[in-house]
Amino acid sequence: MTNLPDLGLHALRTAYLQGTLDVGRVVDEVILRISKAGDDKVWISRASDGALRAAAAALDARRGEIDRMPLYGVPFAVKDNIDVAGMTTTAACPGFAYDAKRSAEVVRRLVEAGALVVGKTNLDQFATGLVGVRSPYGVPRNPFDPDYVPGGSSSGSAVAVAAGLVSFSLGTDTAGSGRVPAGLNNIVGLKPTPGLFSNEGVVPACASLDCVSVFALSCADADAVLAVATDAAATPAIGPAIGPASRFGVPRPLEFFGDQAFAALYGQAVERARALGGTPVEFDYAPFRDAAQLLYSGPWVAERTAAVGAFIEGAGEAAGVWPVTRQIVLGGRKYSAVDAFEGQYRLAALRARAMAEMAGLDFLLLPTAGTAYRVADLAREPVLYNSNLGHYTNFVNFFGLSALALPAGFRADGIPFGITLVGRANAERALLAWGARWQRATALPLGKTASRLPDAAHDPVVAEDRVSIAVVGAHMSGLPLNGQLADLGGRLENAGRTAPVYRFYALPGGPPHRPGMVRVAQGGGAIALEVWSLPSAAVGAFVEQIPAPLGLGTVELEDGTSVKGFLCEAYATEGARDITALGGWRAYVKSLAS
C-alpha cells in the first residue's frame, strides 16, 4: 500500500482507481493524524474509530461501484451547526444540543457520493463571529501560530483541512465565515451563490443570508465537492468564463488596520493577477463597505434574534451561552419593524450603487481580511476586531454574489494572507477555474500539509467563453431576427426586464420592424428583454449585422446588474412612436394584431 502524505480528493481517487490504496488505510491514517494533533480544539464530537473503520470496510466492499461515487472514500468534516444523522448538533452551545435524526441535505448528497463524515467541528457559537474564539469548547489551534485566531465562525472546519486531518470540510458563511478562516489558514474557501447549496438541516444564523461553504486544499478539490453538493432544486445559469484578459476590481479606499505587511502582500497579489493577464480597475468600495456594516450594526441582527434569541433568553449559566454571543444576539431586540423596512430600502440603494461599480468587471479582487489578530487581542476588543475581520466579506450575501478565498502569501512571521474573488451569482466554476490558474502560478504550500496540487487535468475549466447580450426586439425568441443569434451559436440564458430608466420606441421602416431603446435621466420605464449569450468569437460577426441607428451598449437590468445590449441613438427617435407604456416589444406586436 502507498504512503499517505496527501489526502487531496484527486490524489485519493487516483490511488483508489489504481488499486494501490483502500479506504481502510485512509481511515487508519486519519485516526492517527487526529491522535497526533492532540487537544487541538478542532472537534466537538467525532465518529468513533470503530464506526469509521466499519464505514471504510463497507466502502471497500463496494469498490466496484467507484465510478458511480465521485467522492469515494474521501474523509470530510462538518461544522457543528449542520446536522449529521446519528450525531449531536450543538452549534457550540452545550445547552442547545440535540441528536440529529437525519443528515442535512448537503451532507446526505456527499455521503451518497462516497464521502465519510469524520466528525463535527468547533465554531463561533451559533455561527456568530468571524474570529473562532467564541466557543465553550475552546479555540481551535491555528496551525501556523496558536497565538493567532483561526478565524470564524467555521474555525474547526478550516483548521481540520489546513492541518491535513481531512480532505475537505463544510462550513457555513453568512458574513464571511467560509472565507476569513480560509484566509487565516492558507486554504481555499468556496462560498457559493445563496441557494446553490440546500440549507435544510442547518441551524440558522441569518436564514435569509446563510450559505453552506466548502474548505479544501485546492480549487480542483473544491470543484469536485461543488459538483456533488449543488442542490437538485437549484438550476443556476452557468456564468461566463473569466478569460486571460480579465478586468478585476481593486477597492478604494483600502483598509488594513495598520498591518503594513498585509498591505504589501495585497499589492503583490494585484501584480500577480496582472501578470496572469488581468487589468486592475479601481472602484469605489463605499457602497460595499456601508452594506457590510448593516449586518451587525443594523436590523439584520434581529434575524439572529429570531433564530436563537428565545433559547438564549431562557438559558441558564449551565447552557454555556458565550457572553459576547448573548450580547450580539439579544441586541436584535432593539430594532423595530420600521427599522427593518428602512434597512431594506437602504440596502437596495447600496446594492444599486455597488452593482454599478461592478459593471464591466469580471470579479472583485479583495483582501480576505485586512489583518490577523492574536487570541489575546480578542479578549480586549471582542466586537471591534471581529467587525474589522468582516470589512471585506460582510456584503457578499446581501448582494447574492459568489466568492472564492485563495491563499496569497505569508507575512514575515509566517501568518498567512489571502485574497478573495467576488463574482456575480453562479460564477463559482469561473472563479474556481481562475483560482486554479492562480494556485499554479503562486506555488504556495497547501494549508500546512505536504499535499500537492493535483494534475492540471483535474483543474476546473469553464469550457465556454461567452458574452451575454440583452435583446429587446426582433431578436427575441420566435421573432424574425432570432435566427441571427441561433446561427452564431446563441443560447437563451434568461428573460427579465431593464431597470426603469429607458424610453422605448417603435422605429419607422421595416420589415423587419425594430424598436429603439434610449436611456433617460427621468421618466423612464422597465422594458421586457431576453438575455442571450454568444461565443466570444462570434460577437464581431453579430455586431456586423446590426444596422444604424442601433448598436450595442451597456444595459442596466432590473436587479441592478448590467449586460451588453441593444440601444438606439437618440436622434432616431424623433417622430417615432413612444411605446414605453406597453412595457416591451411583444406587447407592442400584440397590440397591432388586436
Contact in structure between 148 and 167 (CB atoms under 8 Å): no
Q: How far is CA 488 from CA 238, 474, 491, 540, 546, in A?
A: 19, 16, 9, 10, 14
Pairing of strands 562-568, 466-471: parallel
Q: How far apart are CA 577 and CA 594, in angstroms?
A: 17
- Give the count of beta carbons closer than 10 Å to the beta carbon of residue 520: 12
Give every CB contact of residue 244 below 8 A, 6+ residues apart in sequence: 276, 277, 278
Give every CB contact of residue 110 below 8 A, 6+ residues apart in sequence: 71, 76, 170, 225, 228, 229
Q: Is the peptide bond before 407 cis (omega within 30 degrees of 0)?
A: no
Residue from 153, 167, 213, 468 carrying the catalytic annotation: 153
C-alpha angle with apex 578: 573 to 583, nearest 5 degrees?
Answer: 125
Contact in structure between 169 and 47 (CB atoms under 8 Å): no
Residue from 79, 120, 191, 448 carrying the catalytic annotation: 79
How many CA atoms within 13 Å lie on the side-chain side of 220?
19
Contact in structure between 558 and 498 (CB atoms under 8 Å): yes
Active site residue 153: yes
User: Phi and psi (nearest 5°) for 247?
Assistant: -115, 120
Q: Identify the residue whose cell numbers are 440558522.
A: 204
Active site residue 336: no
Q: Which of 482, 569, 495 is nearest to 534 (CA)?
A: 482
Contact in structure between 378 and 149 (CB atoms under 8 Å): yes
Residue from 169, 177, 198, 451 carrying the catalytic annotation: 177
Q: Which of 16, 134, 125, 131 is nearest to 75 (CA)?
A: 16
Q: How far apart are CA 129 and CA 375, in angstroms?
A: 14
Q: How far apart are CA 437 and CA 324, in angstroms?
A: 40
Active site residue 79: yes
Q: Which residues are catalytic?
A: 79, 153, 177
